[in-house]
Every structure is written in structure tokens, then in C-alpha cells.
Structure 1
Amino acid sequence: MRLPTRHLLSAAVASTLLTGCFSGTSAEGDGDGSRIRLAMMQPPRSGLSPLSDDAFKLSRWSTAETLVKLDEDGDARPALATKWRQSGRTWTFDIRGGVTFHDGTKLDAEAVVRSLTRAATASPKPRILDGVDLRAAEAHGDTVTVTTADEDPLVPQRLSSPQLSILAAKAYRGKTVNPVGAGTGPFELVSVDGTSAATLDRYDAYWGGRAKSPGIDVRFVPDGTARAAALRSGEADIVEAVPVSQAALLDQDLITEVPMPRTNTLYLNTAKGPFKDASLRAAAREAVDAESIVNGVYEGRADVAEGLLGPALPWAAGLRRPVTRTKATRPSGETITIGTFTDRTELPEVAAALQQQLQKAGFKVKLEVREYANIESDALAGAFDAFILSRATVLDSGDPAAYLYSDFASDGSFNISQLADPAVDRALKKAGATGTGTARRKAVVAAEAAVLTTDAAVPMLHERVIQGDAAGVTGAAHDPRERELVTADTYVK
């Protein structure tokens, strides 16, 4: 097969980009295999604080754990809590016995309340608690009560979010939360080298049984070509988020393609600039040719979006109904600035394709592309007319209502579109208050429709993650929710 020129050019510079990412070889341990060399896409944004999106790194490394975990269907299952029960606005959780933190201290009700209280009173709050007034208290013995201002059927699912990980008291001694040596998982985080690397060792006293690997050596490699090269050269054992452009260069037996609840969306600024005008937002929507982006940028390894919720949530398509939108106005040369980031290799290419499509429609388009850590604050502050984001839609609670609230509620913490629409707020609150099951799913789809009616967001495509596992890797997780990667059962032969 003849490869496109851009693939060959990327491969040619890979060795240069890879320099310094990994050094030496995987050291043998005293377990079933070698230490796991892991190439991660995004460096820490907040010093690995669990109150930020860095929490998902701690979860993927199996170092920090939560009271509850989710099964494949998104239902709550025991983790650090063994069971729970609801009484109105209050849920009572029984805390697992025989669990110790990595510093040797005991997991108890006091530790759980400390962690949950720190998260609930943080500013800003963890995304999973958007719109939720949550209070934790010791009950009796090893039980904890969690009470919300309004009756919340999703409390167990919320407590599965890695942003609500339970850490030892030592983690909370400073102004920021420091997870080093403070988790309960099979691997102990022993050191962090800024945004370059992290080291984890097996925690032999883990309550769930001894891990099969002696440890994990993490390198943060934002450049996708370098990550793929690390797998190809044997310098990494597990590589997350292999770029589509690199997939054809790899041994197909080493990559796994996983449909994800992740949507590539064009967020439009509804508060100021040209897209304050709903008819111009409609014009932008009509100008977007998502199919050409899927075929040209993602080489067919993605699905054209019909809504914000994709094929990873198959029930959404069956409940979705046509949406009534504002009629488009022909643009007359309005200048717009689109922001996006380099951490996901395809996004700059998506931005370039959108620039051409929107210019053809009559807009003048400028692009601003940076690393995510350097652009997130500007995006959240509404500094751009539009922003391209690859967004996980069930990242936190396993339920899309939390994502929809975070991104589109008037007081949502991730409201890049600056949307403040009473009808959307009502639909989002109804979805959040509806009990689990079919009724909740219908309310979620109705909330999605309310958002789409505003054209505050133009869903373009649903991604599939490509993960690379070296031939000797056994038991690596392929998790659509991006919560697991290396588990206690993962090792390198």
C-alpha cells in the first residue's frame, strides 16, 4: 500500500521528536513481567490534582480510587464502598474495611469525608459537581452519608468520577492537592517530574491483590508522531491516542480501535462577536461538511455526528427527533477567530479544513492553535469566536447529563459557548433530576435537542481511539470512558 506523503514526512521526523521521551530499556521486576513504559498524550495541567482533569491520569494508572466504579453499562458497582442505600436526599455508603493508603494510614469514614468535602468546597468545583450541592458526613462506624440539596438519583455514579478520588490526609496539607504517595490503588505514585514524567511502583499491600507488574514509567509525549514512533521502535509498551495519520505505519496487530463517547465539536461563542447572531451560527452549521473531515482528516476512522451523543450511546439515536433551528443568514465577510489545540494531532487539520469551508461560505477566518494547557483558560473565558474541542460525553458520571450541564448550562464550568438560554437550563435541570432508566434517557435526548436548537455547538464527528500495545503487553485496558489503562492485571512479558 502506498502511504500518503504526510505519513512519510511524519515518520521521517519521528526520531528527532522522540529524543528524550524514553531512555534505556524496561527494567525487570520481581513480578510476572517488566515495568510498563507508558507514553501519555497530555501532560498534567494542574500538578496531577484530582480536582482537575488530571484525575483521569491517576485513574488510568490505577493509583487513586473512588467509592464506586462503573461497569460496561454505566451502572454503579462497589469499589472503596461495598454497598449503599438512598433515603430521600441522603445516601449512606459502607466503607470497605482492610484498605490502606500508600503512606500506610487506614481508609476510614473520616478520610472519605475529608476528600469529598475538599472536592465539594473547591473553587472551581470538579466538573462532576456542577450544579450539585453535596455534603459528606460521618454516620457511625465505617459509614458515610452524602446529602444533596435536591434529590439526586445519580449520586453513586457521580462518586465514580476520578475527580472524587479518596486520598490520604497528607494529600491535603498544602493549598493544592498532592496525590504522591496518597492513593489506595495497586500502584503508588512515587514521583512526578513536572510535565515530563511520572513514576509508579507496585503497592504490595493493595486490598485487591498484588499487581502483576512491578511498576509504571510514564512519559508525557504531546506529539502524536513521537508517541507512535515510541511504539514502533520498542521504546514504549503502551501508547495512548495514536494519531490516525500514524495508524497505517504501525503493525496492525499492535493497535486497537475503540469506539468512544467522544465528540469533535465546533463551539460557537453566543455572548459576543459575530456568532452572537443566531442566524450566523446557523450559517456556520450549514457550512460544515463533516463527512469530508471524517474522510480527509480521520481517514474514515470516525463517525459523522448526528448529534452531540454518538454511537457509543446507541440508545440516543433511537430517541432523537428532528430539531427546529434558526434560518441561516448569508455571511458578509465577518471575521472570526477559531481556536484549537495541538495535543490531539487531528484537531489542527480539522481547523484548517473548517477554515476553508467557512471561508467558502462567506466568513473571513483566522486560526489560533496552541497546546491545550496554554489555550484552555482563554477558551473558557470566551476569547474566541469559535473553538474546536474533542470532548468526552460520559467522562465523569458515565451519564451524559453531567457533560451537557457542564458545557451548556448558564452556570456550567466548561461553557465555552458562553451559552445562557433559559430553555436549555430547564431541559438540563430536568434531565439531571430524572431517575435512571428510560425516562432519564429521554430527558437527556430532549436536553441535547434544546442545545442543538441554539446552534451554540455544531457536532461534527465521533472519534474512535487508537491505542497501541506492544507485542509483550498482556491485560491492558481498552476503555471507551478513558478511566482505565494500566490495571493490576496488566504486565509486560
Structure 2
Amino acid sequence: MRSPRLRLIAGLLLTPLLSGCFSSSGDNSSSGSSDSDGDGRVRVALAFPPAENYSPYGQDAVALSRLGVVEGLTRLDANGTAVPALATSWSSEQGGRSWLFTLRDAKFQDGTDVTPKAVATALTRAAAADPAPAVLSGVKLTAEAVGDDQVKVGTATADTVLPLRLTNPNLAVFSPKAYAQNGKVDPVGTATGPFELTKITGDTAATLDRFDDYWGGRTQASGVDAKYVSDGTARANALRTEDVDIAEALPVAQVASLDQDTVHEINTARNTSLYLNTRKGVFKDAGLRAAAREAIDTSAVAKGVYENYAEPAQGLFGPALTWASGKRTEPAGRAKPADAKGKSITVATYNDRPELAEAAQVLQQQLEEADFTVKLDVRAYARLESDLLAGKFDAAVVSRNMMLDTGDPVTVLAGDYTCAGSYNLSLLCDKGVDKLVADAQAESDPAKRQDAAMKAEAAILGTDAVIPLVHLKVVTGVGTSVKGAVLDPYEREFVGTGTRR
């Protein structure tokens, strides 16, 4: 038995949305002032290399956000509320079908001004992307410039959470020169964030420099040197040997061997779940999906794999989302488990988060005890994502932050579990689920919206398209010389204007 870990963030103030909040090992404010370490560069090790050449319309947008490169009209605060970013204020019109955003004075990293026309072009390009960003699943978005400092953003139907939706990194704003005629977007030197992406070394590294004209003030670090290190043990070793200053997603197996002053954990809305392919193969049969669910002991994953850095899943929305527990209902209409009869299945996962491969091995044993024949396929996420989305596996063990897209629970359900969802790993297409998600999307009152989301959750779980395994904490390694590292429950921020060493 490994020794207990030091719980460095115990006692964080509970918020209405998350039992965790933005935290840092120093001042994270935009002071704009220099200090004795102001010329230093911060070295970071990230787990997930770019899978789409830094396209802002997929998962790579999160990396651009975490490195401080991009921003949109709004951003999420610790309470999951949309607050100003490139827009200083906004108001709704036409019952939520149209929103008017007033822009602040800001510059792109190429030196040009952020104008209403440039913002409208950026949002229009995102809305036309193929495949559509997950945050726009089921949403027809339009944007147009209004006067000298405003942008009107519209949707085909009322969208009461549009300011939340616009916090998503997929809807970041780039200068006009970033957009090529073939639909590609070049983020090098064209964004608006505090750090400018200046050099890309394939999918292994990136170099970023301070953007001196950032509207929020100059960063205290002169730049960021990012390495993409898929192997979790290698990330921990790089932190231990001081080759990097900050390392994300540390394996729990490595925590005991690190200086406890460098280990920081935070509650998140992240789950690890088993997604079952409902469109083709063995798990097209609802009875066999039920058999898989019955075979799985989630406590073995929580204790044996995550060593209590997670707890057995209660549903899609875990205990970090404090509003969810009192609204949960039991799934209805589940099929009766069928006899697996030795049916062969392939379970995929990725090794960028090292616990996933181990969790897949535990599930393999449990499923084989239920008379499935199980083959594992473990790759780096960058080489797995396209096959996951294409449904080339019977099942997949995936870690997903349920509030990453917008901070709105309904939006992630639309993107992950509806017929038109663009990150629908289970390939689920169920009319009943789609109706309940649509009903939830129509709710504007926050409490009623949450109630509707939980009804949709129950229907989704009733299909056994997904089997939630555990709710996670994320462990980040921060060198003792580093100040201002950002610990973000939404996992969108990693370095900020106050990050320095």
C-alpha cells in the first residue's frame, strides 16, 4: 500500500457549481508589472500532443487555451459563470435568439486591431467548420458587425446560454490573416491571448513568447516552452529532475515519489467512462450492453487504479457538481442482460493519461469473467481520436471533463449523446434521448435547466451506451520555484499572466 498523499487543496471554498475553484501557487492577477523573475521562461510538460495541427475547432483548441494563446468574447470564472474577455458586456434580444456584445479595445498578435468585422468573421468561420465544434452541436450560429464596437451573434432558436457557449476555446477569435481559403486556421501570431505562439515543432513541442500588447497586461514570464510528453512517468521524472517547471496529469502511481510540495490536486468535473458502440458490432445489442454494465465493478477501478484519487461514479455528473446529487433519478427502461457467449470485443483507450490503460486492463478481466473475449487497443490519443469518432471499436475507455465545453451540462449532453452530436463516442441515436436533451436546451431558468439535464442523464444511462466508472481529481506537478500556476477545475487554463519562476 502506498503512503497517503498530501491533500494540498483541502478546504477550497465550495461554489454552487463546483466543489473546487481556481487556485494558484501565487498571484494570478494581471498586474502588468515586472519582477525579478520577469525575464524567465516557464517550461511545461503537457500530456496531449496536438492531433489536428492546432486546429481551433477540435481538441487542440484546449491546448491553445491552456497555453494562454487564445480567448473568445467571454470566459468562465470559478463559479461557471460567463464573464468578460474580448467583450466587456452583452445583452439579449428577441427572447434569446440574438445577443449584442460590446468589444473592448484589444489587438491581435499580428498588431492589427480587434474589430467587430474580424470577430464576426472568426465566429462565422467556426460555425461553418466541418465537422462542427462540439460546442455548436445542434446550434446554427450567425455573427455580424454592428457599428464601431459591437457584434451581433444570433442563433436559429433561442439560446439562453450563448455567453457560456462563447467561452469555449473552439470559438476563439483570430485575426483575418489566420484563415485560409481551404478552411484551415493558422494560430501562429494571429490570436489575442497573453502568450503568442511563435514556433511549432511538429507534435512534440511549441514555443511561445510574451505578447506585449495584451489588453490584460504583460505576462510576468517572458515566454513558455511547452513539451508534449504522452508518457505520464516521463512527465513526473521531468518535474522531479527540474527539466520542467509544471507538469500536467501526473500518474497517481508517481505521486508518492515526488516532493509533496510540488503535488497539487483539484476536484474537477472529469469522469472516466466506458463508451459502448451502439451503432455496430456486439454492443448494438442492448442486452449485451446491459451484460457489460452488470459485469463492471467501479469500486475496483476507483481504489485499485486511481488509489482513491477518484470515487465510483454516480452518473455522468459527479459530486464535484454539487447541484447534481439531489436531482438524480434512477435510469429507467434498461434492457435485461444477455449471455455474452464468448463474443469478441475490442476496447480502445489512450496512454496519455496513464491510469486509463490500467483501468482498461481491470475492465478486461471483469468483462472476461462475464464471458466476453476482450482485446485491448492502447495508443496515444492523437492517433486514436479519428478512429474513436468513426466507431472503429466496440468500446472505449475515455476521460472526459463534463463541463469543459461550456460549463453548461445540457450542451455536453447534446454534443456527446444526441444523433447530431459531434463527440458522440457511443454513436448513440435515440429519439427519446434527443427529445429530452432538446427539452433541456429550451429551458432558460438555471434550476429547471439542471432538472431537465438530469432527466436526460437518466435516459442516456438507461440505454447503457455509456457506463460511468469514476469521478476524478486531477493532479498537477508545480515546481517549488514557480508562482502563479493556474489550477483550473474546467482544465482550460494552465499558465496565466501571473505565472512565473
- Shorter-chain TM-score bucket reads over 0.9
| 2:191 counterpart residue number | 183
- Please give the alpha-carbon distance, in whole angstroms, between the structure 2 residues aligned to 1:2 and 1:406: 39
Deviation at 1:3, TM superposition (A): 7.8
Q: Alignment partner for residue 421 of structure 1, among 430, 436, 443?
A: 430
User: Are 2:45 and 1:36 equivalent residues in the alignment?
Assistant: no
Report if aligned partners of 1:261, 1:310 keep a CA contact under 8 Å in 2. yes
Residue 237 of structure 2: aligned partner: 229
What pairs up with 1:62-461 in 2 under 5 angstroms? 62-88=68-94, 89-97=97-105, 99-173=106-180, 175=182, 176-324=184-332, 325-461=334-470
Once the two structures are superposed, residues 65-115 of structure 1 have per-residue CA deviations (whole angstroms, 9 ceiling, x without a partner) of 110011111111111001101012110000112x11111000010110111
Contact 1:29 1:213 in 2 (8 A): no
Structure 2 counterpart of 1:468, from 462, 473, 477: 477
1:366, distance to aligned residue in structure 2 (A)? 1.2
> What is the deviation of 1:299?
1.0
The residue number in structure 1 matching 2:10 is none
Whether 1:57 and 2:63 are equivalent positions in the alignment is yes
5+ long unaligned stretches in structure 1: 5-27
Counterparts of 1:300 and 1:279, CA distance in 2: 31
Contact 1:29 1:35 in 2 (8 A): no
Contact 1:31 1:214 in 2 (8 A): no
Q: CA deviation at 1:174?
A: 5.2
Q: Does the CA-based 8 Å contact 2:35-2:220 persist in structure 1?
A: no
The alpha-carbon deviation at position 30 of structure 1 amounts to 7.6
Query: 1:11 maps to what in 2?
Result: none
Q: Deviations over 1:32-65 (max 9, x none)?
A: 3521001010111111121121111111111211
Query: Structure 2: how far apart are the matches of 1:393 and 1:44?
Result: 21
Is the CA contact (8 Å cut-off) linking 1:265 and 1:457 kept in structure 2? yes
Pairwise CA distance, 1:31: 5.2
Does the 8 Å contact 1:29/1:214 carry over to 2? no
Q: 2:477 is aligned with what amino acid?
A: G
CA offsets 1:342-366 (integer angstroms, 9 cap, x no match): 1111111111110100010111111
Partner amino acid, structure 1, of 2:228? F
Q: Secondary structure at the match of 1:229?
A: helix
8 Å CA contact retained: 2:51, 2:383? no
User: Structure 1, residues 143-162: CA drift from partner, whole Å, max 9, x if none?
Assistant: 11011000010110011101
Contact 1:133 1:148 in 2 (8 A): yes
What amino acid is aligned across from residue 129 of structure 1 in structure 2?
A: L
CA distance in structure 1 between the aligned counterparts of 2:324 and 2:376, rounded to whole angstroms = 33
1:424-482 C-alpha deviation (Å, 9 max, x unpaired): 00011111221141000001111111100100000000111100000011011100111
* CA-to-aligned-CA distance 1:150-184 (integer Å, 9 cap, x gap): 00101100111011111111211353101000111
Alignment partners' CA distance in 1, 2:432 and 2:411:
17
* Contact 1:30 1:214 survives alignment (8 Å): no
**Structure 2 counterpart SS, 1:373:** helix
Please give the alpha-carbon distance, in whole angstroms, between the structure 2 residues aligned to 1:111 and 1:29. Answer: 35
Q: Deviations over 1:116-151 (max 9, x none)?
A: 010001111111101000000112221110110000
Contact 1:120 1:133 survives alignment (8 Å): yes
Give the letter aligned to residue 77 of structure 1. V
Identity of aligned residues (%): 49
TM-score (norm 1): 0.93
Cα distance in 2 between the residues matched to 1:196 and 1:371: 13
SS of 1:227's equivalent in the other structure is helix
Instruction: Please tell me whether the aligned partners of residues 157 and 398 of structure 1 are also in contact (alpha carbons under 8 angstroms).
Output: yes
- Mapped to 1, the partners of 2:472 and 2:321 lie a distance apart of 13
Contact 2:173 2:191 in 1 (8 A): yes
Residues 2 and 446 of structure 1: is their aligned pair in 2 closer, same or farther, counting only changes over 3 Å?
closer
Call closer, same or farther: CA 1:86–1:457 in 2, change over 3 Å: same
Q: For residue 279 of structure 1, give the secondary structure of its aligned residue in structure 2.
A: helix
Tell me the CA shift for residue 331 of structure 1. 2.0
Cα distance change of structure 1 residues 332 and 251 upon mapping to structure 2, 3 Å threshold: same
Contact 1:408 1:419 in 2 (8 A): yes
Name the CA distance, whole Å, in 2 between partners of 1:470 and 1:194.
26
Give the Cα–Cα distance (whole angstroms) in 2 for the partners of residues 84 and 344 of structure 1. Answer: 38
Residue identity opposite 1:278 in structure 2:
A
SS in structure 1 at match of 2:323: helix
Give the Cα separation in 2 of the matches to 1:392 and 1:429: 21
One-letter identity of the residue aligned with 1:405: A
Contact between 2:312 and 2:471, CA under 8 Å: does it hold in 1?
A: yes
1:259-280 deviation per Cα after TM superposition (whole angstroms, max 9, x unaligned): 1111111111111222111111
Matched to 2:352, the amino acid is D
Residue type of the alignment partner of 1:283: A
Q: Is the 8 A contact 1:154 1:436 kept in 2?
A: no
CA contact (8 A) 2:409 2:450 kept: no
Instruction: Specify the code of the residue in structure 1 equivalent to 2:201.
Output: D
